[in-house]
Amino acid sequence: MTIMLSKSNQQERWERRYQEGRAAWDRGAPSPALGLGLAQMPEPPARVLIPACGRGYEIAELARRGYRVTGVDFAPSAVADLQKALRAQQLDATVVASDLFTWEPDEPFDVIYEQTALCALEPQQWPEYASRLARWLRPGGLLVGAFMQTHREGGPPWHCPLDAIEQLFRAEQWLWPERKDRTIAHPSGLKELAIILKRRN
Ligand SMILES: C[S@@+](CC[C@H](N)C(=O)[O-])C[C@H]1O[C@@H](n2cnc3c(N)ncnc32)[C@H](O)[C@@H]1O
């Protein structure tokens, strides 16, 4: 039986990990997944959302390139670090300290860059999260995904098997690439499945 932590417990757990320096996922730099995404993304000033952005190195990189970027995360330390880094680099982006399950954007985005966010959520939350992503993206928009592969029980990070991703982002609503096995290395030594989906009209 999997017991789901309450929202406030989940938030406290992530915040504690940042405060105690137990953030093994933190690359300290943009992920190579961003390079894959940039090759297919619309030109700046397209609007990009990064849910569960953490310290958001990709936000700074996209802002530097002229994208209009919004990052959302509920860990106050991560949000504060990101805001400080953006200020230091004189970069402009919107950073929201919020739970992804209560936040709503004013208008849909052209691109959503989802990097190790799904694996951070309890699997019971995945269908609700996936329907939110579909709602937050405009028709024809891109979902650039880096989905954690742990091949282990339990989490977070939870293993995100390809068949579960296919169920969450069904082919009737999402255009899938032919190649579904591209991976990128994660700082923890694990791999992420790099998949770029297009929301059908
Ligand atoms: C594994 S970390 C990944 C952070 C970032 N994407 C990266 O790759 O560095 C997961 C992040 O999800 C955030 N998070 C988890 N559940 C969330 C929720 N319901 N709402 C907002 N943020 C959440 C945590 O605070 C944490 O920063």
Dihedral class, residue 116 (left if φ above 0, else alpha if ψ from -120 to 50, else beta): left
Assess whether the C-beta atom of 74 lies below 6 angstroms from ligand 1.
yes
Tens digits of per-residue pLDDT, 99-110?
A: 999 999 999 999
Is the per-residue pLDDT at 117 higher than 90? yes
Assess whether the C-beta atom of 52 lies below 6 angstroms from ligand 1.
yes
Distance from residue 52's CA to the centre of ligand 1 (Å): 4
Is the per-residue pLDDT at 6 higher than 90? no
In eight-state DSSP terms, residue 153 is S
Is the per-residue pLDDT at 22 higher than 70? yes
Other beta carbons less than 10 A from residue 7's beta carbon? 13
> According to CATH, what is the number of the domain 7-14+32-199?
3.40.50.150
Q: What is the value of pTM for the model shown?
A: 0.96
Distance from residue 114's CA to the centre of ligand 1 (Å): 10
